[in-house]
A and B are shown apart, each in its own frame.
Chain A
Amino acid sequence: MSTPTASLPSPTPAPGRSLSAWWQATPLTAVFAVFFLVPLALILMVSFWDFNEYELLPGFTFKNYISIFDGCGNTTEMCVTLKTYLSTFKFCFMVWLITLVIGFAVSYFLAFHIQSQGTQTLLFVLCTIPFWTSNVIRMISWVPLLGRNGLVNQGLVGAGLVDKPIEWLLFSDFSVTLAFVHLYTMFMIVPIFNSMMRIDRSLLEAANDSGASGWQTLWNVIVPLSRTGIIIGSIFVITIVMGDFVTVGVMGGQQIASIGKIIQVQTSYLQFPLAAANAVILLAIVLMIIWALTRLVDIRKEL
């Protein structure tokens, strides 16, 4: 991402002295310095350290990075790291696509089909309420539905559609993707809805008057003008899924690999330099994705 420019959200200037501005910003600055910038710098530093079973050994070695890509030169079989990233990318892409389609459809319905503002607010709040309950609870709430003896299987067997319960519903790629969509579609809906609400309704009338069909208006007017929301939502969903280890762990029955999971497991064995090297690689990949996405839109302009 490029450095923010003067296009930062510029609230109405307050009367008063500007000298006090910095002490007012100090607590927030201190928090991000101590709990964000320093930790990131330490991750980078420690990723070059050595370690044994008991402690970290300061130094400078590429050992951690080399061990991560150990065997990746092998062309016949893919190494663990590449496999893990491939699996993580797969979830990322699936979840991104599904949340985008659902998020766009729901936002479109709320923004353009609901005329009364009261109803609109009510339905929007209805969508956001589940966000306020625990993620783990929302994950395990799928267990009684998808389990071997769950409602879905009971229904399918009862209806005679299958002879015996389907096994792949729970603790599988399917259940992980489903849980992600359940948890994070909200992150798509809010920014896309926000973008759509700012579209000047007279543009739609103009498109209609010029003889555009519904699809043409959607594709040539609404989608480009909702782009900012789409990109912001995409950044949220992608960064969350890339680093996730909780959803993959709980919904995958601790069987599915993800890069976040690897970092978590390595820290639990106190292999901090290895975990740090993995975190640096993950961060580099996430930043590249975000950079590519922000090429498509200037987010700061639209805030």
Chain B
Amino acid sequence: MKRAPGFVPLAIVFALFVLFMYGPMFVIFILSFQGPEGGLTFPLRGLSLHWFAKLAEGLGVVDIGAALRRSLALGLAVMACTVVFSVLAGLAFRKKLAGGNALFFIVIASLIMPSIIVSLGIGLEFRLLDGGIKWALEVLGMQDILDEYGTALGLFTSALGAHLTWTLPFGLLIMFAIFNRFNPAYEEAARDLGATPWQSFKHVVLPLIAPSVVGIGMFGFTLSWDEIARTSQAIGDVNTLPLELQGLTTTVTTPSIYAIGTVTTVVSFIVMGITLLLVKLLGQKSKGRP
């Protein structure tokens, strides 16, 4: 077959680009399996799981295990909220929604807003809230509670909200893409057969959009799992894994840090794998329907 002109140079550009994207990641993947004598660069000194063991023991003062659990918990919460809120909003935007244009504009604005600004704003909001709560407790004379009270900033308050401002725009845009291609005739048929709105959603719409909804879930989890900028000012006293990692880049000088890289990358890929599997299963299920 005759290739169009420009194929060969562009193919080379593409190959170089893929190498550029994957090369460095493979380097740290390989270096994380160094022997106990290994350093941060090549040559590889031995081959072992030494640095993974070191990682499991913890790195100095930082409790990586706790950070990992926090990130997982937050990621799952973000995933659940993103799926539910996006699907509901997607359904809402199919109907006549007063103020829908303004809402859509706000969602897009959140997507392109520099993350540090959103993060700073949420941090400020919760600090002012803390001040308000402390003032109220003092006025009401509830000294015991006031002494106990720390801050409203936290994993499932401010950090969850901060992540949702990042994941929901993606979720909503995916919902638009789904419903743009969705044939309402199925729902009409369900309604003609006497289904209630809930029945037609549960038995007709949901199975049809299920694979994409799983995709939204994956987006939600992985975006949250790697998020730094929006979490940085909005999390309070604890840290998520990416934030700990960012701190570790300046202090840890052993291949342990590459081991963390390998572990987090593996988690990302497991999530993607599970998602693809689910999408495939759900796709087959809906295809198998008569």
Contact = CB atoms under 8 A, between A and B. Distances in A.
A260 B101 contact: no
Interface in B148-192: 161-162, 164-165, 168, 172, 176, 179-180, 182-184, 187-188, 191
B282 to A, nearest CB: 19
On chain A, which size bracket covers the interface?
Answer: 35 or more
Contacts of A150: 41-42
A109 B176 contact: no
A18 B13 contact: no
B220 interface: no
A182 B24 contact: yes
Contact of A154 (B13, B42, B91, B122): B42
A3 B101 contact: yes
A138 to B, nearest CB: 7
B116 A134 contact: no
Contacts of A87: none
B121 interface: yes
Contacts of B5: 214
Contacts of A240: 114-115
B94 A246 contact: no
Interface in A142-201: 142-145, 147, 149-151, 154, 182, 185
Interface string A90-102: 0000000000001
A235 B108 CA distance: 11
Contact of A246 (B162, B188, B228): B228
A149 B228 contact: no
A290 B109 CA distance: 10
Contacts of B265: 133-134, 137
Given A22-B97, A133-B25, A264-B233, A27 B184 contact: no
A144 B117 contact: no
Interface stretch (B15-23, B49-57, B58-66, B138-146): B15-23
B93 A12 contact: no
Contacts of B17: 102, 105-106, 127, 185
B167 to A, nearest CB: 10
Contacts of B105: 1, 3-4
Contact of B94 (A12, A144, A290): A12
Contacts of B164: 31, 35
Contact of B18 (A16, A108, A126): A126
B278 to A, nearest CB: 16
A134 B107 contact: no
Interface string A255-299: 000001001100100001001100100110010001000000000
Nearest to A33: B106
B264 interface: yes
B76 interface: no
A102 B118 CA distance: 30
Contacts of B124: 39, 42-43, 46, 272, 276
Which residue of B14, B96, B102, B232 has the most chain A CB atoms within 10 A of its CB atom? B14
A69 interface: no
Nearest to B197: A16
Interface in B57-81: 81
A294 to B, nearest CB: 11
A105 to B, nearest CB: 5
B193 interface: no
Nearest to A267: B233
Contact of B40 (A147, A260, A263): A147
The 8 closest A-B pairs by CB, nearest first: A243-B114, A39-B121, A35-B161, A141-B24, A25-B92, A24-B92, A11-B179, A14-B94
